[in-house]
Amino acid sequence: MSESAKLVLGGETIELPIIVGTENEKAIDIRALRGQTGFITYDPGYKNTGATESAITFLDGEKGILRYRGYSIEELCENASFLEVAYLILEGELPNKEQYAAFEKEITYHTLIHEDVKHVFDAFPNGAHPMGQLQIILSMMAGFYPDSLNPHRSKEDVKRTIVRLIAKMPTMVAMIQKKNNGHPLVYPKNELGYVENFLRMTFGQVTEDYEIDPVFVKAMNKLLILHADHEQNCSASTVRLVGSSNANLYASISAGVAALWGPLHGGANQKVLEMLEAIKEDGGDTDKWLAKAKDKNDPFRLMGFGHRVYKNFDPRALIIKQSADEILDKLGIEDPVLEIAKKLEEKALKDPYFADRKLFPNVDFYSGIIYRAMGFPVEMFTVLFALGRLPGWISQWKEMRETKQPIGRPRQVYTGKNARDFVAMNKR
Ligand code: ACO
C-alpha cells in the first residue's frame, strides 16, 4: 500500500494519501478532507499549498536548483537559444534539427501584427507604462483571432494560437518601446533569429541598417532563458487560474502580465534600478538604506532581495551577476550603480537581519543593470521579463488544460457578521 498520512481530528483518525513527485517532493492530498470532516486547510498566500502536479519546471529553493524539463538553467544558458528553450518548455523535449527548423519557420511566419493594432497607441497618454500597454494589446489579440476564443478547439488550432503569440510578442514589445520614444516602427525581418529580430525592431531605425551586436544577442538570450519559467509563481498561477475558467489564451496571458507587473514580483526589476539610483543620488550611503529596509516602521524593502522559495540563493541571480560584469566590461561601461549594488549585496549578506530571514539577491537584483547597459528604458524592464516568461506561462496554461484541471476556486474562513435582520434606513 502506498504511503499515507494520518490526521487525528475530534478523536477520529482520517487517512490522507501522500503524493510523491519524481524529485521526491511530498504532498498530503487533502482533497477528500472537507467531504469527510467539513474542515478546509488554511494557508494565506498559498505558502505551503501545492495547487497542481506539473512536469515543466523543478526548483529546490534550499539547494538553489532550477531545471526546465530536467535540464539545468546553467547548461541551457550556456548552450541553447531562447527559442530552443521555448520549444523544450512547451513540448517537453529538446528539438532535433528538423523540429527546430520547422518551429523557427512557423514563428517567423507569424511575426507581423495587424496594422489596426497601431491605432490603440493613440489612446494611451504619453508615458503610459509599457506593462499596461502590453496587457491591452495582448487582450486585443483575441479580437483579431476569434478562433482562439474557444480553448476546446482542435490541438492544431491551439498550437496556431501559441505560435502566433510567441511570434508576435517581440513585435509588440518593440512596438511599445518605439511608440514611447515617438519613433517610427521597425517591422520584423524574418530571415533574422528571434532575439536578433527583436533587437533590430527595438533599437534599429527605419532610416538605416542596424548592426546586430553579438554581445547584446548573447546577453538577451541568457536573460530570456533565465526568465522562461518558474513553476507556480504569482503570474503563472494567475495564468492557470484565469485559464481554468476556459478563458482564452490571450486573456489568460494578459492576466499573467498584470500579476507580473507588481513590484513584489516582476515589477521588482524596475524598482531595483530606481532604488539603486536613489541611493546614488543620496550620496551612496548603503548603510542608511539597509537600516531603512530593516526598520519595521518604514515601508521600504530592499528591492531585488528575498524570495518566496529560494532560501539560500537564487541560481538565476548568480548567472546574471556574472553576466552584468561581463557585459559592462565588453561594452566598456563603468556604471556606479553596479558598484552600489555589489556593496549593498555584500553588506546585506553579512547582516543578521537578512541572514536570519534567509534574504538573498533574487533574479531582479542585477538584471536591470544589464538591460540599462543595453539601452532599454527602465519602464521596459518588466516587459522584457514578460517576453522571457511567455513560453512558461503558455506551457503552464497548456498543461493545465491537457491534464483537465478543474476551475480554480479557493475556499475561505468567514470572519464577518452572523446573519442579522435588515433595518430600514430611517431607523438606523
Ligand atoms: N527587504 C527587507 N525585509 C524583507 C525583504 C526585503 N526585500 N523581503 C522580506 N523581508 C522580511 C519581511 O519584512 C519579513 O520580516 P519579519 O519576519 O520580521 O516580519 C520576512 O523578511 C519574511 O518576508 P515575507 O514578506 O513574509 O516573505 P514572502 O516569502 O512572503 O515574500 C518577497 C517574498 C515578496 C519576494 C519579499 O522577499 C519581497 O518583498 N522582496 C522584495 C521585492 C522583490 O525583490 N520581489 C521580486 C521577487 S523575485 C520575482 O518575483 C521574480
Q: What is the pLDDT of residues 145-183, one digit of tens each?
A: 988 888 888 889 999 999 999 999 999 999 999 999 999
Confidence of residue 218 (pLDDT cuts 50, 70, 90): very high
Task: Summarize the confidence of residues 194-202 as an average pLDDT.
Answer: 96
Instruction: Tell me how far the alpha carbon of residue 49 lies from the centroid of ligand 1, in angstroms.
Output: 18
Q: Please tell me the least confidently modeled range out of 34-48, 91-105, 159-173, 358-372.
A: 358-372
For residues 115 and 144, what is the distance between their CA atoms, to the nearest angstrom?
11
Whose alpha carbon is nearest atom 49 of ligand 1?
265
Whose alpha carbon is nearest atom 35 of ligand 1?
307
Pocket test for ligand 1, best of 230, 238, 301 (most atoms within 8 A of CB): 301
Q: Which residue has the higher pLDDT, 83 or 331?
A: 83
Asked whether the predicted pLDDT for residue 1 surpasses 70, the reply is no
How much is the pLDDT for 210? 87
Instruction: Tell me how far the alpha carbon of residue 157 lies from the centroid of ligand 1, in angstroms.
Output: 41
Taking only the tens place, the pLDDT of each residue in 49-65 is 999 999 999 999 999 99
Q: Among 129, 307, 314, 325, which one carries the catalytic annotation?
A: 307
How much is the pLDDT for 114? 93
Q: What is the DSSP string of 122-159?
A: HHSPTT--HHHHHHHHHHHHHHH-GGGS-TTS-HHHHH
For residues 121 and 117, what is the distance between their CA atoms, to the nearest angstrom?
8
Asked whether the predicted pLDDT for residue 368 surpasses 70, the reply is yes
Instruction: Tell me how far the alpha carbon of residue 86 lies from the centroid of ligand 1, in angstroms.
Output: 29
How much is the pLDDT for 122? 85
Whose alpha carbon is nearest atom 31 of ligand 1?
308
pLDDT above 70 as % of the chain: 100
Q: How far is CA 93 from the centre of its chain?
A: 21
What angle (nearest 5°) sits at the alpha carbon of residue 396, between those of residues 393 and 400? 140
Asked whether the predicted pLDDT for residue 47 surpasses 60, the reply is yes
The answer to whether residue 183 is catalytic is no
Instruction: Tell me how far the alpha carbon of residue 45 lies from the centroid of ligand 1, in angstroms.
Output: 13
Taking only the tens place, the pLDDT of each residue in 126-142 is 889 999 999 999 999 99
Measured between its terminal Cα atoms, the distance across the chain in Å is 62
Ligand 1 binding site (Cβ under 6 Å of any ligand atom): 264-266, 268, 293, 301-308, 357, 359, 362-364
Whose alpha carbon is nearest atom 21 of ligand 1?
357
Distances in Å between the alpha carbon of 47 and those of 43, 84, 107, 142, 242? 6, 32, 37, 33, 20
Pocket test for ligand 1, best of 46, 357, 365 (most atoms within 8 A of CB): 357
For residues 392 and 390, what is the distance between their CA atoms, to the nearest angstrom?
5
Pocket test for ligand 1, best of 131, 230, 307 (most atoms within 8 A of CB): 307
What angle (nearest 5°) sits at the alpha carbon of residue 99, between those of residues 22 and 72? 35
Task: Summarize the confidence of residues 331-335 as an average pLDDT.
Answer: 84
What mean pLDDT, rounded, does the chain reach? 94
Whose alpha carbon is nearest atom 12 of ligand 1?
357
Task: Summarize the confidence of residues 395-399 as an average pLDDT.
Answer: 97
Taking only the tens place, the pLDDT of each residue in 253-304 is 999 999 999 999 999 999 999 999 999 999 999 999 999 999 999 999 999 9
How much is the pLDDT for 234? 98
Q: What is the DSSP string of 156-216?
A: HHHHHHHHHHHHHHHHHHHHHHHHHHTPPP----TTS-HHHHHHHHHH-BTTB--PPPHHH
How much is the pLDDT for 177? 95
Confidence of residue 326 (pLDDT cuts 50, 70, 90): confident
Distances in Å between the alpha carbon of 332 and those of 11, 326, 373, 385? 71, 10, 10, 25
Task: Summarize the confidence of residues 14-39 as an average pLDDT.
Answer: 95
The answer to whether residues 253 and 165 touch, using CB atoms and an 8 Å cutoff, is yes
Q: Which residue has the higher pLDDT, 393 or 10?
A: 393
The answer to whether residue 307 is catalytic is yes
Which residues does 309 contact at the CB level (< 8 Å), separation at least 6? 59, 61
For residues 170 and 386, what is the distance between their CA atoms, to the nearest angstrom?
10
Distances in Å between the alpha carbon of 123 and those of 137, 152, 179, 294? 12, 33, 12, 42
How much is the pLDDT for 180? 92
All cell numbers assigned to 146? 476569434
Pocket test for ligand 1, best of 359, 366, 383 (most atoms within 8 A of CB): 359
Whose alpha carbon is nearest atom 30 of ligand 1?
308
Q: Which residue has the higher pLDDT, 213 or 166?
A: 166
387, 84, 70: which is closest to 224 by C-alpha?
Answer: 387
Whose alpha carbon is nearest atom 36 of ligand 1?
306
According to the CATH classification, is domain 73-410 in 1.10.580.10?
yes
- Phi and psi at 77, nearest 5°, equal -60, -35
Ligand 1, atom nearest to 306 Cα: 37
Instruction: Tell me how far the alpha carbon of residue 305 lies from the centroid of ligand 1, in angstroms.
Output: 7
All cell numbers assigned to 144? 483579431
Confidence of residue 324 (pLDDT cuts 50, 70, 90): confident
Residue ranges of domains in the chain? 4-65, 73-410
For residues 189 and 186, what is the distance between their CA atoms, to the nearest angstrom?
9
- Tell me which CATH code domain 4-65 carries: 2.20.28
How much is the pLDDT for 328? 86
- Phi and psi at 58, nearest 5°, equal -115, 135
Confidence of residue 250 (pLDDT cuts 50, 70, 90): very high
Task: Summarize the confidence of residues 78-85 as an average pLDDT.
Answer: 97
